[in-house]
Amino acid sequence: MCGITGWIDWTSDLTKESKHLERMTDELAPRGPDASGTWISGHCALGHRRLAVIDPENGAQPMIRYTEDDQYVIVYNGELYNAQELRRELENRGRTFATTCDTEVLLVSFMEWGRACVEKLNGIFAFAIWDMTAQELFIARDRLGVKPLFFSKQGDLFVFGSELKCILAHPAVQPEVGAEGLAEIFVIGPARTPGHGIYKHIQELRPGQCMVVNAAGAKTITYWRLRSSEHGASVEETADQVRELLRDTVERQLVSDVPVCTLLSGGLDSSALTTLAVQYYDRNGQGNVHTYSVDYRDNDKHFQAHAFQPNSDAPWIQRMTSHLGTVHHPIQFDTPELAAALRDATIARDLPGMADVDASLLLFCREIKKGATVAISGEAADEIFGGYPWFHREDALAADTFPWSLATGMRAGLLSPDIAEWIRPQEYIGDRYAEAIAEVPRLDGEDETRRRMRRMSYLNITRFMPTLLDRKDRMSMAAGLEVRVPFCDHRLVEYVWNIPWEIKTAGDREKGILRKALKGILPDDVLTRKKSPYPKTHNPNYLEAVRSMVLEVLDDKSSPLLPLIDAKKIRELAEQATQGSHLPWFGQLMSSPQLFAYLVQVNTWLKHYRVRIG
């Protein structure tokens, strides 16, 4: 994995502006600690930071290929899991290769098939290719949006990059936020509307999109979207297909020139991926799989089961590591570390995020990086297979809003009256929800239950899942760790999308069809374990720590957060907060302590990036 950046300017000679390119590229150094490269021509500048995983000796970027009458230059962030098949196909068409890295396969694919190359790719990617003769830039992002890509289009200037920070490093892009950006932060956040870059003049290339940029302008093309169709397979046939798709994608994603570890929580998803990895390693004589887990000091003393987190992970991790014989690395953090990491997590994401959930993942990835470069993780299974509580709670299904964010009224009440009047929080979230619902690819003839569950699945895949993918990308790449997410294989997503709800919940269980597909692969007790989300700290010291932090923000008259909020109301909440509230205001994990931590992160973001409101 890597970081990419660059810009096009049709009115300037960019060969005289190398210092700006170097600064933008340097902002991405954590994403690519192994190497740095830049390339500049008259109207195009490209920068790259590299984390070497495949062909470390020969995969340097920007990579250039020449033909008799043209020159192509690529910067690329990602992994192609069908690189070998593509390479053979291209060789059969007369193409030759100088390296074994997937970067060259991608570049040659573009040279052979042009823009249509994206339809042939199986992987996670964000890339930019400059065609010198055509004087044209082509950028693209993978189908599910695992790898990020932002851009800013201002007149003849087009700036792009893997993260917001490298775009903001360009002198023409200012950290300005208007009403929409504030609504995203205070109403939608820590989620983000697809395509929204928060800052004025910054947008996100949406998953499944590519773009052509030339002197005539910028044209966006959607090359992939979910499509609804009839599912004619039986329960048994469906389980067999899910099993084989999952096995194939895991084995593809285990290919690496460096060892691959797994993140193991003892839950269904991570246990399945780890088991398939162990089976693959055993079959190929690759030795023991290393596994990593995260927990918090004294969590066993303070854990209390509730609807959103019914059990703790520790016994189940022990169950799986003993069963599989992995080399396990338990990682544990304490409250002071978590609280202190809130700032670093904000800067890693460039925005306020999921509070201690982000911070703990950042710390976790830093520890993993000490022993590994590539990891496998179970993100996306709950969105795809319907595992979250809101898939199964009538109040969430009938809420007529995003089911992971039901406390909009409470959140709106925390804003200053002027800001609330300006951004119109209830109206804003209503509009964003209506847009999302209008996108759902419907299927004629479906009954109301199937329509409702298809709608819920679409919301989760396109609106909630990107939040977790953003989190995993930014926190892992801030530590120079590549994390792969097999459940985001587009073939698996496309297939499961059209499985009827009654088959998805086979056996009257959440993710029932996945459980059935894994029968005989996982131990029965793990197979039937009730879902528990990514672990968070239950130590009351964390509430005390973040309450003190938000009160410090409120007491500092220079805090940039103060003009935006109702400080009196938040002070009252902080002074009255008690441990034990489990009604989340976002997702499954973000309740009172995370609200205070989120506000601290907002203040950190405003101050660090010198954000201007207007």
Catalytic residues: 2
Cα angle for residues 315, 319, 320 (degrees, 5° grid): 125
Sheet architecture: strand order including 327-333 = 327-333, 290-296, 260-263, 374-376, 482-484
Residue burial 217-250, b: 16+ Cβ < 10 Å; e: rest: eeeeeebbebeeeebeeebeebbebbbebbbbbb
DSSP string, 295-315: EETTHHHH---BTTB-S-SHH
Coil, helix or strand for 108?
helix
Return d(Cα 471, Cα 200) in angstroms, integer: 22
Among 216, 221, 219, 191, CA closest to 206 = 221
**CA angle 384-188-483, nearest 5°?**
45
Q: Give the angle 316-318-319 at the CA atoms, nearest 5°.
A: 60
DSSP code of residue 114: G
* Distance in angstroms between the alpha carbons of the first and the last residue of the chain: 36
Q: Which helix (H) or strand (E) holds 448?
A: helix 448-459
**Residue partners of 502: CB distance under 8 A and separation at least 6:** none
H runs (alpha helix) in 535-591: 540-555, 567-576
Alpha-helical runs (H) found in 94-221: 102-113, 164-168, 179-183
Give CA–CA dist 65/327, Å, rounded: 42
The 3-state DSSP class for residue 537 equals coil
What is the enclosing helix (H) or strand (E) of 139? strand 136-141
Query: What SS3 state is found at 505?
Result: coil
**DSSP classification of residue 101:** S
Contact 134, 200 (CB under 8 A): no
Neighbours of 259 (CB within 10 A): 17
As a 3-state breakdown, the chain gives helix, strand, coil percent values, each rounded to 5, of 45, 20, 35
d(CA 42, CA 413): 52
Three-state secondary structure call for residue 71: strand
